[in-house]
Amino acid sequence: MKTRMLLNEVETEGYKVMLGFEKYLATTSITPIHKELIKLRASQINGCAFCLDMHSKDARKFGETEQRIYTLSAWRDTPFFSEEEKAILALTEEVTLISGHVSDKTYDAAVVLLGEKYIAQVILLIIAINAWNRIAITTGLMPK
């Protein structure tokens, strides 16, 4: 695959809007590890090599372990993730694969464990990483 375009150079104003969304997300109460787990799991599902490369490096900077990064795609079958993380990962998967809708069970479990405000912020982050994945995949961004 080759890079098709650099969206930030071709559509500067639209790209600035995305960066503004990221700037807001940086102010939320979502923990750095939760942010990176969300970004990694959505990027795994979407097959975004650029984002997987970026966010696995970022996760390590925040103290994420190699073991959890390597087993993230099979999180249900490991003892490595907390109940809160499992709720976030389940929500991330269902929002990313939205054609199957988000079940009441998944949504309600997440809200019970983390609260409505936190989950509202998580939903916005999931939406953002899915948008970034689509930008990176469509324009052919390559890991560096």
pLDDT single digits (tens) 118-143 = 999 999 999 999 999 999 999 999 99
- Span 1-7, mean pLDDT? 91
Q: Which residue has the tokens 């199957």?
A: 100
Q: Is position 74 within any domain? A: yes
Give dist(CA 127, CA 59) in Å, integer: 19
Count of structural domains, the chain: 1
**81 DSSP assignment:** S
pLDDT above 90 as % of the chain: 98
- Asked, for residue 116, whether it belongs to a domain, the answer is yes
Supply the DSSP symbol for 101.
-
Matching residue, tokens 């969304």: 21
What spatial distance separates the first Cα and last Cα of the chain, rounded to whole Å? 14
Q: H helices of 47-103, where?
A: 49-61, 66-71, 83-96
Domain, as residue range, for 129: 32-139
